[in-house]
């Protein structure tokens, strides 16, 4: 028996479109330990949401897992019959989406929507279910829960709607919560409040969380471990300290250079990585980042970089970590020699 709650192994997901196959996720692997908050960070289009939707088995039309596995409780979710999947999804693994409006029914009061979820998954009387919904509303700090129970989604602010979504995701006390950019649409103060609520609830309930964001600043506040995605692959993975202080991938270095400093002026112009991500209809043969990497060499264009394990928890996929890579113009010389 494995000690992990969730094990994603060499996951490959494609969308079959009229124009051709979009290889959105190209061999993603990671484990989720009990009670940990793993961040998945990367630019728009890197495959974060498709990874999440693959785990949930909720891919949009044309989307298909074409390889690898998603193991939960000893079973591969990708091959599980629908009935068994429905018993897990929303109950043992649940998800908070970026846009709460798209997952709430505008015509039904929010309290009833959360209660219906309990009706589906738990054996409870109506009164018990209502009491549980009110308790959930209190947990996510929705003021006046009794009154709010009967309100409709449009009567809530963006931040309050996101709290309802979190309440809904936690209704059945899931073992795994996937939060896909849960605060991106919110302003900074509200974002901080939601992050604080999520962190507190994670600690109270002891669930494991996959926290998806494009913002390394948010990762630093919430997560204990981070996987950095680029072009449908994970390029580097490590603890918060490894990713921030012993960075071992040029793409992560680029992302870090574009994080606003907490003490800095918010309007300060940040260095963003020039160029744009690869077209996943025609994914690069070698390193996904080769076209934008300031340190790319010949081999980067032709050969996928191997995984270099720098510690029990730190893995990077970059040719610069190879013993044959030159030391000059190599930002990873220090990590490499520390490891050697
Ligand atoms: N329904 C779809 N049909 C075709 N291609 C898709 C579909 N959904 C996603 N993709 C493609 O899959 C790739 C990964 O998309 P994904 O939504 O996972 O990115 P992301 O990292 O979540 O980005 P963002 O930060 O913008 O949410 C992109 O190239 C996207 O165009
Ligand atoms: S493998 Fe090459 S292109 Fe990719 S990040 Fe490393 S140096 Fe850059
Ligand atoms: Mg996304």
Kindly give the distance from the C-alpha atom of residue 15 to the centroid of ligand 1, in angstroms, as a whole number. Answer: 9
| CB of 214 closer than 6 angstroms to any ligand 1 atom | yes
The model's pLDDT over 285-318, given as tens digits with 9 standing for 90+, comes to 999 999 999 999 999 999 999 999 999 999 999 9
| pLDDT value at 264 more than 60 | no
**Residues 158 and 185 occupy one common structural domain:** no
Kindly give the distance from the C-alpha atom of residue 322 to the centroid of ligand 3, in angstroms, as a whole number. Answer: 32
**Residues 54 and 110 occupy one common structural domain:** no
Residues, CB-to-ion distance under 5 Å, ligand 3: 49
Q: What is the pLDDT of residue 148?
A: 95
**Residues 199 and 311 occupy one common structural domain:** yes
77 lies in some domain: no
164 lies in some domain: yes
70 lies in some domain: no
| SS3 at position 160 | helix
Tokens of 197: 């609520």
Q: DSSP letters of 73-105?
A: TTEEGGGS-HHHHHHHBTTTEEEE-S-HHHHS-
**Residues 206 and 302 occupy one common structural domain:** yes
**Residues 188 and 317 occupy one common structural domain:** yes
**Residues 300 and 282 occupy one common structural domain:** yes
Query: How many Cβ atoms from other residues are within 10 Å of residue 309's Cβ?
Result: 11
**Residues 185 and 294 occupy one common structural domain:** yes
At 262, the pLDDT band (50, 70, 90 cuts) reads: low
CA-nearest residue, atom 1 of ligand 2:
318
**Residues 197 and 251 occupy one common structural domain:** yes
Q: What is the pLDDT of residue 229?
A: 98
CA-nearest residue, atom 7 of ligand 2:
296
Domain boundary at 144, 171, 198, which? 171
73 lies in some domain: no
**Measured CA angle at 192 (ends 249, 251), to 5 deg:** 10
Kindly give the distance from the C-alpha atom of residue 329 to the centroid of ligand 3, in angstroms, as a whole number. Answer: 34
Which residue from 11, 44, 45, 283 has its CB within 8 A of the most atoms of ligand 1, so it is best to mutate? 45
- Domain of 136? 99-171
12 lies in some domain: no
Domain boundary at 171, 195, 214, which? 171
Q: How far apart are CA 49 and CA 96, in angstroms?
A: 11
Burial class (CB in 10 A: 0-12, 13-18, 19+), 208: buried
**Residues 190 and 142 occupy one common structural domain:** no
Domain containing residue 219: CATH number: 3.40.50.300
Q: How many domains does the chain have?
A: 2
| CB of 231 closer than 6 angstroms to any ligand 2 atom | no
- Hey, which residues does 177 pair with through a beta bridge? 94, 209
Which residue from 48, 65, 219, 232 has its CB within 8 A of the most atoms of ligand 1, so it is best to mutate? 48
| pLDDT value at 215 more than 60 | yes
Kindly give the distance from the C-alpha atom of residue 138 to the centroid of ligand 1, in angstroms, as a whole number. Answer: 35
326 lies in some domain: yes
253 lies in some domain: yes
% pLDDT > 90, the chain: 76
**Mean predicted confidence (pLDDT) in 203-207:** 92
**Residues 240 and 335 occupy one common structural domain:** yes
Q: What is the pLDDT of residue 265?
A: 54
The model's pLDDT over 48-83, given as tens digits with 9 standing for 90+, comes to 999 999 999 999 999 999 999 999 998 999 999 999
CA distances from 329 to 102, 184, 275, 287, 334 (A): 47, 36, 20, 18, 12
| CB of 287 closer than 6 angstroms to any ligand 2 atom | yes
Comparing CA positions, the residue from 161, 143, 144, 140 lying closest to residue 152 is 161
Q: What is the pLDDT of residue 1?
A: 53
Say how many CA atoms lie within 13 Å of 256 toward its Cβ: 18
| CB of 55 closer than 6 angstroms to any ligand 1 atom | no
**Residues 126 and 201 occupy one common structural domain:** no
Domain boundary at 137, 171, 205, which? 171
| CB of 319 closer than 6 angstroms to any ligand 2 atom | yes
% pLDDT > 70, the chain: 96
Tokens of 58: 């909720």
| CB of 211 closer than 6 angstroms to any ligand 2 atom | no
| Chain mean pLDDT for the chain | 92
The model's pLDDT over 97-150, given as tens digits with 9 standing for 90+, comes to 887 777 889 999 999 999 988 888 888 888 999 999 999 999 999 999 999 999
Q: How far apart are CA 219 and CA 174, in angstroms?
A: 22
At 260, the pLDDT band (50, 70, 90 cuts) reads: low
Instruction: Tokens 């960075």: give the residue.
Output: 247
Comparing CA positions, the residue from 148, 223, 158, 240 lying closest to residue 193 is 158
138 lies in some domain: yes
96, 180 contact by CB (below 8 A): yes
**Residues 213 and 335 occupy one common structural domain:** yes
| SS3 at position 25 | strand
């Amino acid at each position: 028996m494995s000690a992990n709650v969730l094990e994603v192994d060499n996951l490959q997901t494609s969308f079959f479109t009229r124009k051709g196959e979009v290889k959105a996720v190209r061999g993603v692997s990671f484990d989720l330990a009990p009670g940990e908050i793993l961040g998945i960070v990367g630019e728009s289009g890197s495959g974060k949401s498709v990874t999440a939707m693959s785990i949930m088995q909720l891919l949009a039309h044309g989307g298909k897992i074409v390889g690898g596995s998603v193991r939960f409780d000893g079973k591969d979710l990708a091959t599980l019959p629908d009935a068994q999947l429905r018993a897990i999804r929303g109950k043992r693994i649940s998800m908070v989406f970026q846009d709460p409006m798209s997952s709430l029914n505008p015509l039904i009061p929010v309290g009833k929507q959360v209660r219906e979820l309990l009706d589906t998954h738990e054996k409870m009387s109506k009164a018990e279910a209502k009491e549980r919904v009110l308790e959930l509303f209190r947990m996510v700090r929705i003021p006046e829960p009794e009154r709010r129970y009967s309100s409709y989604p449009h009567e809530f602010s963006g931040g309050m709607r996101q709290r309802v979504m979190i309440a809904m995701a936690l209704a059945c006390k899931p073992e795994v919560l996937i939060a896909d950019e849960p605060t991106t649409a919110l302003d900074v103060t509200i974002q901080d409040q939601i992050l604080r609520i999520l962190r507190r609830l994670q600690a109270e309930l002891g669930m494991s969380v996959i926290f998806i964001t494009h913002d390394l600043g948010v990762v630093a506040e919430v997560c204990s471990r981070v996987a950095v995605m680029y072009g449908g692959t994970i390029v580097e993975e490590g603890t918060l300290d490894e990713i921030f202080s012993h960075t071992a991938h040029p793409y992560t270095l680029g992302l870090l250079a574009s994080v606003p400093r907490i003490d800095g002026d918010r309007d300060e112009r940040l260095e963003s990585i020039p160029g744009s991500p690869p077209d996943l209809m025609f994914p690069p043969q070698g390193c996904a980042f080769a076209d934008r990497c300031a340190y790319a060499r010949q081999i980067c264009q032709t050969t996928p970089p191997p995984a270099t394990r720098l510690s029990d928890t730190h893995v990077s996929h970059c040719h610069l970590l190879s013993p044959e890579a030159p030391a000059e113009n190599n930002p990873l010389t220090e990590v490499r020699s520390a490891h050697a």
